[in-house]
C-alpha cells in the first residue's frame, strides 16, 4: 500500500498477475475510504484508452458513505509496463483474475461495480461469469460498449474476417483509428474542462490490434445472445450520438464514441432486473458531461443506489454540489453541456419509457438473441 499519484487520501495497491507472452503483468487498485462505509464499496472499471482520474466520481460515493476503489486493468494507465502493448488482450476473460483479486482485497459486504464503456462490457461479462458466487451486488454501467459504432458490414462480416486473422496474427495493427473528437471535447488543452495524463489516455488513442478487436467482438456477441446477471443493473447513456469526424459544439452534448441506440437496445439482455436512464446532453463518459448533466447523472445514480443497494436507515441524499465542483485534477470549465432543466429519461429495460421519478421495477420480458 502506498500513496497514489493523485495524492492523499488516495492509496494504491499493485496486484501481481504473473506473466504472459510479453512478460510480467500487474494491475493497480486505487482506493479512497469513507469515514463510515458500513461495508459498502464501489469498484470502478475504466474504458479503453483510459485509466482512473475522475476524483469527483470518488467524491460522490465517499460522501454517501461508500468506500471507493478503481482498478487500472493490466496494460492500462498505472499498470502499463514498458514492455507491454497498450490496452491489448486476446479475450476479455483475461481481466477476470484482477477483478477477482480486487473484489477479495476490497472485502465489501455490498459491492457495486461501476463500469464505463469497454469497462462496462468487461464488468458485465465478469458479473455473468461469477453470478453463482454472489460477488457483485449491483452494476452501474456508464455508456457500456455493447456494439461497435460502425456500419453493419463492418460490425458483422468484416469483424468475422478479422477474428480469423487474429488467430494467426493477434498483434497485427488494423487500419482503424479512434475518433479524436471525444478527446478534444473533454481535455482542457482542447475544448474540455478535464486534465489527465495524455500518455495513458492519448487523444488519438493507441493502435488497434486484430486480437483486441476479436476479443471485444466475441464478448459482445455473447452479451447480445443474453446474459443472466442476477444483480440489479443501472445502464446509463446519452439521448443521442455525434456522427461527425471533426469537433463541433454539438459534440459537447452527445456521445461521440458509441451509438447510444445500441446501448438502449441490448441493455435488457444483461439480466432480469435492468433499468435504463438516458441523459439529454450527456457525453460518452456521462460523469465528464457539463455541470448540469453531471448533476442529473449523480442524482439518478443516487436514487437508484438508495432504492436497490442501500438500507433505508443509512441512505443519504445526493450531493448535487459535486456536479458543479471540478475535481482537484480538473481545469476550469471552458465549455458546458446545454440543459433545459428537465429530468432525464428513465425506463425499465424492455419496457415503455416512463417519466423520471416514477418507479419501474417490473423485470423486462425476454428478448430474442440478436441474429447477427
pLDDT in tens, 212-257: 999 999 999 999 999 999 999 999 999 999 998 899 999 999 999 9
How many other β-carbons are positioned within 10 Å of the β-carbon of residue 316?
Answer: 13
pLDDT tens per residue, range 333-356: 322 333 333 345 555 443 333 333
Distance (Å) of CA 173 to CA 164, 202, 205: 14, 17, 13
Helix (H) or strand (E) holding 258: none
pTM of the model: 0.85
Cα–Cα distance for residue pair 288/186, rounded to 1 Å: 7
67 — pLDDT class (breaks 50, 70, 90)? very high
| Mean pLDDT value across residues 69-81 | 98
In this prediction, residue 322 carries a pLDDT of: 43
Q: Please determine, for residue 370, whether its predicted confidence score (pLDDT) is greater than 90.
A: no
Any idea which of 76-90, 167-181, 284-298 has the lowest mean pLDDT? 167-181
Instruction: Identify the pLDDT of residue 344.
Output: 53
Pure H helices in 12-66: 55-63
Q: Are 67 and 60 in contact (CB under 8 A)?
A: no
Residues 6+ apart with CB under 8 A from 296: 279, 323, 339, 343, 344
Q: What is the pLDDT of residue 36?
A: 87
Q: What is the C-alpha separation between 201 and 77, in angstroms, rounded?
A: 8
Report pLDDT for 320. 41
For the chain, how big is the Rg over CA atoms in Å?
A: 19
d(CA 62, CA 41): 9
- In the structure, what pLDDT confidence band is assigned to residue 327 with cuts at 50, 70 and 90? very low
Contact assessment for residue 12 and residue 31, using Cβ atoms and an 8 Å cutoff: yes
User: pLDDT band at 41, cuts 50/70/90?
Assistant: very high
Using 50, 70 and 90 to split pLDDT, how confident is the model at 314? low
Length of the chain: 372
Indicate the SS3 state at residue 180: coil
Average pLDDT on 109-133 reads 98
Confidence at 363, pLDDT banded by 50, 70, 90: very low
Of the pLDDT bands very low, low, confident and very high (cuts 50, 70, 90), residue 31 is very high
Would you state the pLDDT for residue 78?
Answer: 98
Domains of the chain from N-terminus onward: 2-348 (3.40.50.1820)
User: Greater confidence, 63 or 367?
Assistant: 63
Pure H helices in the chain: 55-63, 96-106, 118-129, 152-153, 159-168, 181-186, 210-225, 260-266, 291-308, 321-324
Q: What is the pLDDT of residues 245-289, one digit of tens each?
A: 899 999 999 999 999 999 999 999 999 999 999 999 999 999 999
- From residue 265, alpha-carbon distances to 260, 314, 324 in Å are 9, 34, 31
Instruction: Report, as an integer, the average pLDDT of 187-207.
Output: 96
Report the chain's mean pLDDT, rounded to a whole number. Answer: 87
Amino acid at each position: 500500500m502506498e500513496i497514489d499519484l493523485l495524492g492523499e487520501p488516495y492509496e494504491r495497491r499493485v496486484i501481481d498477475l504473473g506473466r504472459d507472452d510479453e512478460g510480467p503483468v500487474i494491475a493497480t487498485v486505487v482506493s479512497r475510504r469513507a469515514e463510515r462505509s458500513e461495508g459498502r464499496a464501489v469498484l470502478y472499471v475504466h474504458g479503453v484508452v483510459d485509466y482512473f482520474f475522475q476524483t469527483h466520481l470518488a467524491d460522490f460515493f465517499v460522501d454517501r458513505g461508500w468506500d471507493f476503489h478503481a482498478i487500472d486493468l493490466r496494460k492500462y494507465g498505472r499498470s502499463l509496463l514498458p514492455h507491454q502493448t497498450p490496452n491489448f488482450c486476446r479475450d476479455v476473460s483475461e481481466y477476470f483474475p484482477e477483478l477477482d483479486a480486487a473484489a477479495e482485497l476490497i472485502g465489501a459486504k455490498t459491492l457495486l461495480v461501476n463500469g464505463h464503456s469497454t469497462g462496462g462490457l468487461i464488468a458485465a461479462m465478469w458479473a455473468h461469469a461469477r453470478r453463482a458466487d454472489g460477488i457483485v451486488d449491483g452494476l452501474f454501467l456508464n455508456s457500456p460498449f455493447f456494439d461497435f459504432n460502425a456500419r453493419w458490414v463492418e460490425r458483422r462480416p468484416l469483424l468475422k474476417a478479422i477474428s480469423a486473422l487474429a488467430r494467426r496474427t493477434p498483434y497485427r495493427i488494423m487500419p482503424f483509428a479512434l475518433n479524436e473528437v471525444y478527446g478534444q471535447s473533454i481535455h482542457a488543452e482542447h475544448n474540455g474542462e478535464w486534465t489527465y495524463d495524455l500518455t495513458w489516455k492519448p487523444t488519438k488513442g493507441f493502435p488497434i490490434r486484430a486480437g483486441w478487436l476479436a476479443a471485444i467482438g466475441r464478448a459482445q456477441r455473447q452479451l447480445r445472445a443474453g446474459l443472466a446477471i442476477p444483480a440489479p443493473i443501472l445502464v446509463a447513456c446519452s439521448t443521442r450520438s455525434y456522427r461527425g469526424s471533426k469537433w463541433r459544439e454539438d459534440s459537447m452534448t452527445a456521445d461521440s464514441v458509441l451509438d447510444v441506440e445500441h446501448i438502449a437496445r441490448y441493455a435488457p439482455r444483461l439480466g432480469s432486473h435492468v433499468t435504463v436512464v438516458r441523459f439529454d446532453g450527456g457525453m460518452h463518459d456521462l460523469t465528464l458531461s457539463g455541470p448540469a448533466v453531471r448533476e442529473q447523472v449523480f442524482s439518478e445514480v443516487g436514487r437508484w443506489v438508495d432504492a436497490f443497494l442501500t438500507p433505508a436507515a443509512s441512505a443519504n441524499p445526493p450531493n448535487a454540489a459535486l456536479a458543479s465542483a471540478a475535481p482537484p485534477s480538473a481545469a476550469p470549465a471552458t465549455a458546458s453541456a446545454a440543459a433545459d432543466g428537465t429530468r432525464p429519461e428513465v425506463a425499465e429495460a424492455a419496457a415503455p419509457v416512463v417519466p423520471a421519478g416514477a418507479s419501474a421495477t417490473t423485470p423486462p420480458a425476454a428478448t430474442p438473441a440478436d441474429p447477427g
